[in-house]
Amino acid sequence: MEYLTSERVAVLGAAGAIGSNLTQIILTLRISNNVVMFDPYAPGLEGAAEEMYHCSFPGATITWTTDLAEALEGTSYVVTSGGAPRREGMTREDLRRDNCKIAKELGEHIRKYAPDLKFLIVIFNPADITGLTALVHSGLPPSRVTTLAALDSTRLQTALAQKFGVPQDKVTGCRTYGGHGEKMAVFKSTIRIDGKPLTEYLEEGLLPREEWEAVQEHVRNGGARIIKLRGRSSFQSPAHHSALMLKSVIDGSEYPWPCGAYIAEGEFAGVMMAADTTLTRNGVVVRVPEGDPEDMALLRDSYEHLIQLRNQTIEDGLLPPLKEWPRYNRHLGVPPR
Amino acid sequence: MEYLTSERVAVLGAAGAIGSNLTQIILTLRISNNVVMFDPYAPGLEGAAEEMYHCSFPGATITWTTDLAEALEGTSYVVTSGGAPRREGMTREDLRRDNCKIAKELGEHIRKYAPDLKFLIVIFNPADITGLTALVHSGLPPSRVTTLAALDSTRLQTALAQKFGVPQDKVTGCRTYGGHGEKMAVFKSTIRIDGKPLTEYLEEGLLPREEWEAVQEHVRNGGARIIKLRGRSSFQSPAHHSALMLKSVIDGSEYPWPCGAYIAEGEFAGVMMAADTTLTRNGVVVRVPEGDPEDMALLRDSYEHLIQLRNQTIEDGLLPPLKEWPRYNRHLGVPPR
């Protein structure tokens, strides 16, 4: 079994639960045989690296470093879960300020040490804002930066499969868009349960309105629920999806879930958010999601929330004022608002 | 990407670090699309199962239960990490009594609920003795029971690669045999560093005797070192190897590392230990390891230690007296000692 590439992948936060799992999946799926693990916490990082050595992946070169510049130089792909983790009782937004500092530093390091980076995947929360912060400071084209956004959609798929008692992949078209947070927009218009549109279940009263709202709420609390059950935030599913996203940009394979992407123009411009995306060897291609009026109202609401978070991050001095964005990143225009 | 089988795999201890990682790797490598997760700890188990659902493995049926009988009925393959974990400062042997109780119960349940089980892989420590205990009580043929034994060999490969400054897979022929514990037999006679036999390095004084002994000691403490570095016992590498072992017995692919197997006759009869093994669709084929006189002396020493542990387990009432073994398991004779 050959590796898909020998170009180097840097996993940032590799001592953590997501990062160490992600490193393992990258090697298990033979995505790259060349992985550098970065984390500021040396003992845990060495321990995680030793575990990888003890797997004895054939032909793999696995290194580890606590020096971010060293991790980035010569690296083609970066996947980062290297933020502070979310703890029980915290909202994703509570993490914003601390993690945007980390994202800003990452962007600045990428600009300096890996200006030709092929792709950056940001996992740490709130990923829309940390991803945006890294994008603006990195100088990378927006097509080369994405965030993990799939879990809300797969949690929706899971919840509906459990509610209707059908196998999970009989529930299709699950999409959540906008922010990955309490204000996510859980779309309904494309969902089918064993072939039958969810909207028909709603119209026929087979799925009472309040039960659908409960499902949406369940999905919004999906992350918190894992923390409650496992005593730690989810790590296997984020690692899994991030690895598949990376695989997609390396080999062009289909990645079927929404990704976070920068919206350059139109009604939803000036933020990164979960959208209708395609991952390709050239990066992420983004389209504004389409849904019924109710879905779109949810998306507008989520967008407004993202604008607020973005503006707070500007006020914190972690993102530059909008009019200066093109000076920080020549691939960006001045957002309309 | 098709799954290798639709026959059910039970992962026992699936709420734990090894078990949840193992479940993920079984699905990621498309080994089986039919996995039941068992653990006595329901919230952690549900959380781990939810993480798998959020991965959205196509076509997978993943269930979870806290009822061991339910996990075993209709199951073809069992991989179990469902023992108590080793904590800092404990030797593997400290765990013996508690985990042999669990292994005895597992064997009895297999006899009752899954007498035609195709393969059982025991991971939890001390795996040689827990594996033996499960084997005797299960009534399964010895060819259908194995234990994880690779990590000592891959730790040896890792340590030598680091010492000689060569890529890991330039170090070949690393094999540790006998017990997976402080008394493991670290063989040297087949090791080559970048093609040159380790024995030549020793003879020529390029690797001083005491440095080789330090490497052996480093390997013996490999598990404890992970605990010290990561604050928890190793889980990614055991899950990785167990998944590859399972894959081997399902698709006949080569598994290149030693496995633990029951030795029915000859000098090393009456124990399970890491040996020269081949995994096939029909189970494990075992040969007594061969090495130079020094290697074989280490193996004899390790075997004596295993006999002691086995006899203590008989005294504890967790294994029957030797002469009763054929009554518990018709595939076993009375061990010669």
Among A208-212, B104-108, B222-226, B260-264, the range scoring the smallest mean pLDDT is B222-226
What's the CA gap between A223 and A92, in Å, rounded? 9
Chain A CA closest to residue B219: A54
The set of residues, in sequence order, having a beta carbon less than 8 Å from that of A124 and lying 6+ positions away, is A13, A80, A81, A82, A83, A84, A95, A99, A102, A103, A130
A236 and B50 within 8 Å at the Cβ level: the answer is no
Which of B47, B59, B230 shows the shortest C-beta gap to A230? B47
Chain A CA closest to residue B152: A54
| Whether the predicted pLDDT of B197 surpasses 80 | yes
pLDDT given for residue A92 in this prediction: 64
Chain B CA closest to residue A162: B53
A56 and B225 within 8 Å at the Cβ level: the answer is no
pLDDT given for residue A90 in this prediction: 74
* pLDDT tens for each residue of B121-149: 999 999 999 999 999 999 999 999 999 99
**Average pLDDT of chain B to the nearest whole number:** 95
Phi, psi at residue B179, to the nearest 5°?
-75, 150
pLDDT given for residue B93 in this prediction: 65
Burial class (CB in 10 A: 0-12, 13-18, 19+), B264: middle
B226 and A24 within 8 Å at the Cβ level: the answer is no
Among A224-228, B12-16, B70-74, B132-136, the range scoring the smallest mean pLDDT is A224-228
This model of the complex carries an ipTM of 0.96
Provide CATH code, domain A9-149+237-250: 3.40.50.720
pLDDT over 70, % of chain B: 99
Which of A169, A237, A241 shows the shortest C-beta gap to B59? A169
pLDDT given for residue A247 in this prediction: 98
What element of type H or E holds A193?
strand A192-193
Distance, in angstroms, between A232 CA and closest chain B CA? 10
| Crossing angle of helices A150-164 and A209-220, rounded to 10° | 140
Which residues make beta-bridge pairs with B286? B277
The residues on B that touch A, with CB distances below 8 Å, are: 20-21, 24-25, 28-29, 43-44, 46-48, 50-56, 58-61, 151, 154-155, 157-158, 161, 167-169, 222, 225-226, 228-231, 234-237, 240-241, 257
What's the CA gap between A70 and A113, in Å, rounded? 8
pLDDT given for residue A93 in this prediction: 65
A53 and B158 within 8 Å at the Cβ level: the answer is yes
Say how many CA atoms lie within 13 Å of B99 toward its Cβ.
26
Which residue in A29, A35, A46, A54 has the most chain B C-beta atoms within 10 A of its own C-beta, making it the best mutation to test that interface? A54
What's the CA gap between B187 and B258, in Å, rounded? 12
pLDDT over 70, % of chain A: 99
The residues on A that touch B, with CB distances below 8 Å, are: 20-21, 24-25, 28-29, 43-44, 46-48, 50-56, 58-61, 151, 154-155, 157-158, 161, 167-169, 222, 225-226, 228-231, 234-237, 240-241, 257
Section B220-242 average pLDDT: 93
| Whether the predicted pLDDT of B251 surpasses 80 | yes
pLDDT given for residue B34 in this prediction: 98
What's the CA gap between B201 and B101, in Å, rounded? 45
Domain layout of chain B by residue ranges: 9-148
What's the CA gap between A299 and A132, in Å, rounded? 18
Pairing of strands B196-197, B192-193: antiparallel
* pLDDT tens for each residue of A144-166: 999 999 999 999 999 999 999 99
Which residue in B37, B39, B236, B251 has the most chain A C-beta atoms within 10 A of its own C-beta, making it the best mutation to test that interface? B236
Q: Which residues of chain A have pLDDT under 50?
A: none
Report, at the CATH architecture level, how domain B9-148 is classified: 3-Layer(aba) Sandwich (3.40)
Range list of β-strands (E), chain B: 9-12, 34-38, 61-65, 77-80, 119-122, 145-147, 171-172, 175-177, 185-187, 192-193, 196-197, 259-262, 272-280, 283-287
A21 and B60 within 8 Å at the Cβ level: the answer is no
- The pTM of this model reads 0.96
Which residue in B156, B229, B251 has the most chain A C-beta atoms within 10 A of its own C-beta, making it the best mutation to test that interface? B229
Alpha carbon separation from B286 to B76, B109, B148 (Å, rounded): 22, 26, 14
